[in-house]
Chains A and B, each alone.
Chain A
Amino acid sequence: MKRFNTLCIGIAAWSVASIQTAFAETEAHDAVHAVEHAVEDMAVHAEEAVEAAAHAVAEAAHHGGGHGHEGSSAGLPQLDASTFPSQLFWLCVAFAILYFIFSKKSLPEISGVLENRQNHIQSDLETAEKLKSDAEAAHDTYEKGLQSARDEAAKTLNDVQEKIKAKAEKQADTFRQKTEKEILALEEKLFAAKENALDDMNTIAAEIASEAAKKIVGINPDIEQAKTVVKALNGNTKAKAA
């Protein structure tokens, strides 16, 4: 544990040291002091840490931060020009491989899939459109058929109604004529019967009158004469009633 602690403190010291080398002097100093204070407050091994930090700072100042390759002035590995050819070479290799694979395989593949899907959707939409127009046409035909059937039905109904009406009228006409004729005949008959009855009544009246005259007065009047008298009297009452 003790060794681990020292290692960790060493690690911290290294980071502190490298901050100092990497950044401008005053700012880095402030950072170092801040870290030192924080460590001091919280740690039992504060003095050790400060010592280690101071030691590391001194060491870092000597080393200049260079670790792997030599020849970097600021201690930044990025400025080590000896690694440039290798990085450039491998970057070119990586870029060339990626470009080749992407432009020859991956990208056409993806665009092919996307296009295929687009076409599929397009054709599906077209089919849907066609089906819709088909359905609409069918609906139209149905509507038209329904309309014509309705028209025909109405026409037939009308025809039948008219036919029935005409027939009924005709029958009513014949019936009326027939009945009128019958009524006329009956009326004539009735009139004749009435005339007859009236005549009979006159005869009866004349007979009664002559009989009465024979019995009351003792004369035997001519029956024909009595009839004329009754008729005349009847004519008088008729005129009066009128």
Chain B
Amino acid sequence: MADPLHQFVIEPIVPFEIGGMDLSFTNSSLWMMIGVVVSTGFISMAMGKKSLVPGRMQAFVEIFYEMVAGMVRSNIGPEGRRYFPFIFTLFVIVMMGNLLGLIPYSFTYTSHIIVTAALALMVFGMVLLLAIAKHGIHFLAHFAPPGVPWFVYPLLVPIEIVSYMARPITHGLRLFANMMAGHIMLKVFAGFSVAMAGAGALGFVAGIIPMLVNSGLIAFELLIALLQAYVFAILACIYLKDTVDMDH
């Protein structure tokens, strides 16, 4: 348990294979499903009464909805309505992963690069396909922004291409690195406390210090969890905006 990386180990709960592929229901899958149940359950419970004057939970859900809707509207524009459910789902699934991961003994599925990379690549693929479907070959103009002297293009176009290709990498890596680093840090400080407590009376008292640090870190991680979900969703919005209206 004390290995700070042990918390990231995937443990199969219901092992099974389909077509030679290991699709076991694991602790990661379990927490994904818990995330699905908690988020949909919370929303349906909060919106159960559909009251005109909302209660606390309904107000919370409505404010959250308005926030995501506002984010989509201000970043993509009125055309963003079509992508709103997608962005909302993205936001919720990342936020659930980050938040549920802070519960002791839980599993943080967003701390696995394959998950964050898959989400980032989904956004990237969607943006790319939309761009091609919408603008055809003209979408390549994205790599040659107007308004620069012709001799800059040989330098600018490769840079634009590289930065475009780097999007899904940074997009996915940012979330993964944030979650992994945070959880390792929490575990290491917790380990300090336990080690000190085991080292006698003086150590037991001194062990409170890393515990206090850890309390602060938990608060910080809570902020990071929400912030990274927000950042993930807003970046998806910004990437989508590029395709929705290419002004050149």
Contact = CB atoms under 8 A, between A and B. Distances in A.
Given A15-B2, A69-B10, A83 B196 contact: no
Contacts, number: 213
A68 interface: yes
Given A8-B197, A106-B47, A22 B10 contact: no
B29 A86 contact: yes
B239 interface: no
A76 B176 CA distance: 13
A39 B196 CA distance: 7
Contact of A49 (B40, B114, B195): B195
Contacts of B198: 4-9, 11-12, 45
Interface in B100-120: 109, 111-115, 118-119
B196 A42 contact: yes
A107 B92 CA distance: 12
Interface in A44-100: 44-46, 49, 65, 67-69, 75-80, 82-91, 93-95, 97-99
Contact-residue bracket for chain A: 35 or more
B206 A68 contact: no
B197 A90 contact: no
B32 A76 contact: no
Contacts of A223: none
A114 interface: yes
B32 A77 contact: no
A85 B199 contact: no
B39 A98 contact: yes
A87 B85 contact: no
Interface string B10-49: 1110000000011111101100110110011001100100
A156 to B, nearest CB: 57
Contact of B29 (A4, A90, A103): A90
A85 B23 contact: yes
Interface string B46-87: 010010101000100110011000000000000000001110
B47 A101 contact: no
B4 A15 contact: yes
Contact-residue bracket for chain B: 35 or more
Nearest to B11: A68
Contacts of A88: 114-115, 118
B199 A39 contact: yes
Interface string A162-196: 00000000000000000000000000000000000
Contact of A86 (B24, B40, B192): B24
Contacts of B89: 95, 98-99, 102-103
A144 interface: no
B114 A102 contact: no
Given A42-B196, A45-B199, A94-B93, A117 B2 contact: no
Contact of A98 (B2, B62, B93, B195): B93
